[in-house]
Amino acid sequence: MSLRIVVTVKYVPDATGDRHFADDLTVDRDDVDGLLSELDEYAVEQALQIAEDADDAEVTVLTIGPEDAKDALRKALSMGADKAVHVEDDDLHGTDAIGTSLVLAKAIEKAGYDLVISGMASTDGTMGVVPALVAERLGVPQVTLLSEVSVEDGTVKGRRDGDAASEQLEASLPAVVSVTDQSGEARYPSFKGIMAAKKKPVESWDLSDLDIEAEEVGLEGAWTKVEAAAARPARTAGTIVKDEGEGGKQLAEYLASQKFI
């Protein structure tokens, strides 16, 4: 029986762009370029490695987002994933982590799965809670923050590295895992992979396809919200110390005034 791997990925604003909030205090995604979250690339890479080691496996990438979110799916498909699912619905605007986990869990169930792999966090929200929430909704074990992962005989195994020790963890399939940026460099899409991605299937679903009511997601259904936001102050010019024999003293006085020493 084929090993069904679903990788959850996110289309995020480019961190090098001018990111800001819209009038409703959600992230303004219209005025900045987006891309596949870098931390999710590690999840795609681990899924592909597991699939390559398996006798028979299929990798599906899943994302929630606007039309442009298909760019994230195309990147994952060009890396080597087999097919993709895009959940798009206007009522999803403003959905928080709780709502996102609901949509992902419903979509994962509809797609069919044995193993779900996620990045450790998204590079925009950086909450890192969605994999655990998805596992809870699916009612399956979670093995999170792995720097090494493998699947053998219906069991997923991995290593979680902490500050003082490393843990060896395992869970029976089906299961949800998340991987860190220490799990291995993600491969670059080859020209062949980019061309092949154009022919791979991408299914589009909305809330009705997942039997989710609009009131359960979006800003109205969110359990968390941004109350206020302010632009970060512009960077001010630094203090220049000219060494004319008293440079060391001036530097020490400055560091003391800033409570660095």
Q: What is the pLDDT of residues 53-62, one digit of tens each?
A: 998 999 999 9
Q: Tell me, what's the pLDDT at 146?
A: 96
pLDDT band of residue 240 (cuts 50, 70, 90) is confident
For residue 9, CA distances in Å to 64, 86, 165, 219, 250 come to 8, 10, 29, 21, 51
Q: What is the mean pLDDT of the chain?
A: 91
Amino acid at position 169, single letter: L
71 burial level (CB within 10 Å; 0-12, 13-18, 19+): middle
Evaluate if residue 197 carries a pLDDT over 70: yes
- Other C-beta atoms closer than 10 Å to the C-beta of 62 total 28
Q: pTM score, two decimals?
A: 0.85
Amino acid at 175: A
Q: Examine the pLDDT at 159 and tell me if it is beyond 70.
A: yes
